[in-house]
Amino acid sequence: MEIPIELVVSLSAILFGIGVVGALVRRNIIVILMSIELMLNAVNLAFVAFARMHGTNDGHVFVLIVITVAAAEVAVGLGIVISLFRNRDTTNVDDVSLLKW
């Protein structure tokens, strides 16, 4: 049984929307990074759905690229979070602004 493309794209849009809301509303850096990961996974789902619909492997190649970028983002982002937590003792975005005196 094949799932209709409309359902997969709507699920992808819902996941992306949840990620956007999480990134804009929450103040914790770790939650913001998880929301960005959720948005990237929603895009991956849409890529795979459209690749399957068109019968090509182009979407799968883009998914591999997005996964690579997401892994690099996690490595760099968590390194920055750990460094900020060690220096400032907080992961709140409002408290770690480096431009304030």
Ordered structural domains, the chain, with CATH: 5-88 (1.10.287.3510)
Tell me the whole-structure pTM to 2 decimals: 0.86
| Residue in 63, 73, 8 with CA at minimum distance from that of residue 36 | 73
Question: What is the DSSP secondary-structure string of the chain?
Answer: -PPPHHHHHHHHHHHHHHHHHHHHH--BHHHHHHHHHHHHHHHHHHHHHHHHHHT-SHHHHHHHHHHHHHHHHHHHHHHHHHHHHHHHS--BTTTT-TT--
Q: Which two tokens stand for residue 64?
A: 């591999």
Instruction: Give 36-45 pLDDT, tens digit per residue.
Output: 999 999 999 9
* 10-residue averages of pLDDT along the chain (101 residues): 92 97 92 94 95 92 94 91 86 73 55
